[in-house]
Amino acid sequence: MGIIDGKAISQAVKDEVKAEVAGIAARGGRVPCLCVIIVGENPASQVYVRNKVKAAAYTGMESRQIELPESVSEDELLAQIRSLNEDPAVDGILVQLPLPKHIDEEKVLVAIAPEKDVDGFHPSNVAGLWIGKDCIVPCTPAGVMRLLDSTGVDLTGKTAVVVGRSNIVGKPVAKLLLDRNATVVIAHSRTADLGAVCRQADVLVAAVGRAGLITGEMVKPGAIVIDVGINRMPDGRLCGDVDFASCADVASWITPVPGGVGPMTIAMLMKNTLRCYLQNFKSASRK
């Protein structure tokens, strides 16, 4: 069994971005700029946003962090997004989720200019992914694919089971696996006999947010197991959706939590920001 080292792979991705940004700076260009908006004081969101800003600094990009109070109105948030859409110094816009209950998440995601949508959550990017256009791919699913690539295993003809059907992870990762010619099953909380479905998987991606849901007897011997879950336990420890101890003995490759998918999300965000910068720069110079 091999452990897929998300920390090392994410570092390599960040270093790729860093080298490109250094090249831009050396040519006297404006470096890419990521703008992160956080609403309210969700402690987990605060940690994620801090890490995103830190990663941007590491790669040599600029970043802006806009902190809005929990009480901010939907209109004020939308106005803020529109002003960033118009700002030529901003290449990527990310609104950290979840948002307070009084704000309509869908309205917010639609308001972000698709060409600055570093999360890949705008409906036009979501549609683009599903019809096979080369567009911005959500960060966590892109990170999962990069981890799978690191194993060198060809996914063609393999059975992939994705447990979880969220818009952020489950659905897009299923499409990306399909693009690699895997036979894809999306399982979820209502799936009958989840164990039997999971045991079919050559590639098992767990993204449901239930600590330790996937146990060793649900894993096919030799499967690749990717754990997207980040569950905070009462004692403060982080725990994945996969019971690492029992699954590690059965899998050929497995990701740990922490140090697996988590750091990849941020690394792919850096890649997406650079991509938006390069694409917008190109389309601006065509005007």
Nearer to ligand GUN, 61 or 139 (CB): 139
Nearer to ligand GUN, 139 or 214 (CB): 139
- Non-local CB neighbours of 233 within 8 Å, separated by 6+ positions: 211, 239
Nearer to ligand GUN, 209 or 259 (CB): 209
Q: For residue 179, indicate whether it is catalytic.
A: no
Selected from 63, 96, 159, 255, the binder of ligand GUN by CB under 6 A is 96
Name the pairing type of β-strands 238-239 and 231-232.
Answer: antiparallel
Nearer to ligand GUN, 31 or 97 (CB): 97
Minimal distance, residue 70 CB to ligand GUN, in Å? 16
Nearer to ligand GUN, 34 or 168 (CB): 168
Selected from 91, 119, 202, 241, the binder of ligand GUN by CB under 6 A is 119
Q: Are 149 and 13 in contact (CB under 8 A)?
A: no
Catalytic residue among 18, 91, 96, 241: 96
Catalytic residue among 18, 91, 117, 119: 119
Contact segment (CB under 6 A) with ligand GUN among 91-99, 123-131, 170-178, 277-285 equals 91-99
Q: For residue 119, indicate whether it is catalytic.
A: yes
Asked if 94 touches ligand GUN (CB under 6 A), the answer is yes
Asked if 168 touches ligand GUN (CB under 6 A), the answer is yes
Q: Are 89 and 61 in contact (CB under 8 A)?
A: no
Contact segment (CB under 6 A) with ligand GUN among 77-85, 94-102, 215-223, 232-240 equals 94-102
Site string for ligand GUN, 126-165 (x = CB under 6 A): -------------xx-------------------------
Minimal distance, residue 262 CB to ligand GUN, in Å? 10
Q: For residue 52, indicate whether it is catalytic.
A: yes
Minimal distance, residue 75 CB to ligand GUN, in Å? 20
Selected from 97, 113, 178, 278, the binder of ligand GUN by CB under 6 A is 97
User: How far, in Å, are 80, 126, 135, 200 from residue 73 at the CA level?
Assistant: 11, 26, 31, 47
The alpha carbon dihedral of 143, 55, 94, 114 has a sign of negative
Site string for ligand GUN, 247-266 (x = CB under 6 A): ------------------x-
Site residues, ligand GUN (CB under 6 A):
94-97, 119, 139-140, 168, 265
Residue positions annotated with a catalytic role? 52, 96, 119
